[in-house]
């Protein structure tokens, strides 16, 4: 009987030291994350188009890569403001995905206009995609683009 009394605490100690981590469960993987950067460049009749750009992450804030200042992920020049000819935004923290939405609408469809826009997308410092867009005031009134990128792969 005395042997059982000594054996029981040793047995309890042995089983209490086993791993309870959910990392060992099959199918339960930690989501991969990456730090993303989006560069924007434009030329042409930049003041003749209403433009909107939205940056979304899952869930992250965005910062200006030059200044490190937090920035508004919803940009619009509809109130008479103009985008600079170029800027670069990065996710503040690594994230599982980002989404970039761009829209351009000519203010005057009768005037001969042109706008060239380039988006460069970087993941962990490596260029993964370049979108070059040439817009004029052709039959289409609204030019709308929507791109989605994931840390573990890329969708466009």
Mean pLDDT per 10-residue interval, the chain, length 156 residues: 50 49 54 91 89 83 89 78 85 92 84 91 95 78 85 68
CA distances (Å), origin 142, targets 52, 71, 105, 118, 138: 11, 26, 5, 17, 10
Contact present, 32 and 96 (Cβ < 8 Å):
yes
Task: Classify residue 44: in a domain, yes or no.
Answer: yes
In eight-state DSSP terms, residue 124 is: T
HEC string for 89-116: EEECCCECEEEEEEEEEECCCCCCCEEE
The dihedral built from the CA positions of residue 54, 144, 41 and 83, taken in this order, carries a sign that is negative
Question: For residue 122, what are the domain limits?
Answer: 32-155
pTM of the predicted model, to two decimals? 0.74
The pLDDT value recorded for residue 40 is: 95
Distance CA 49, CA 77 (A): 8
* Overall number of domains in the chain: 1
Contact present, 95 and 33 (Cβ < 8 Å):
yes
The pLDDT value recorded for residue 11 is: 42
Distance CA 132, CA 86 (A): 14
Distance CA 58, CA 19 (A): 31
Residue 83's CATH number: 2.60.60.60
Task: Classify residue 10: in a domain, yes or no.
Answer: no
């Amino acid at each position: 009987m005395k042997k059982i009394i000594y054996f029981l605490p040793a047995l309890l100690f042995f089983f209490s030291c086993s791993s309870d981590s959910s990392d060992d469960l099959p199918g339960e993987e930690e989501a991969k994350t990456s730090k993303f950067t989006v560069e924007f460049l434009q030329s042409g009749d930049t003041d003749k188009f209403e433009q909107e750009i939205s940056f979304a992450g899952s869930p992250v804030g965005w910062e200006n890569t030059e200044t490190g200042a937090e920035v508004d992920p919803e940009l619009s020049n509809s109130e008479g403001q103009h985008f600079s000819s170029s800027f670069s935004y990065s996710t503040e923290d690594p994230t599982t995905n980002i989404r970039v939405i761009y829209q351009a609408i000519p203010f005057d469809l009768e005037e001969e206009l042109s706008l060239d826009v380039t988006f460069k997308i970087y993941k962990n410092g490596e260029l993964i995609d370049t979108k070059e867009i040439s817009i004029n005031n052709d039959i289409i009134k609204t030019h709308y683009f929507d791109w989605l990128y994931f840390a573990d792969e890329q969708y466009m």
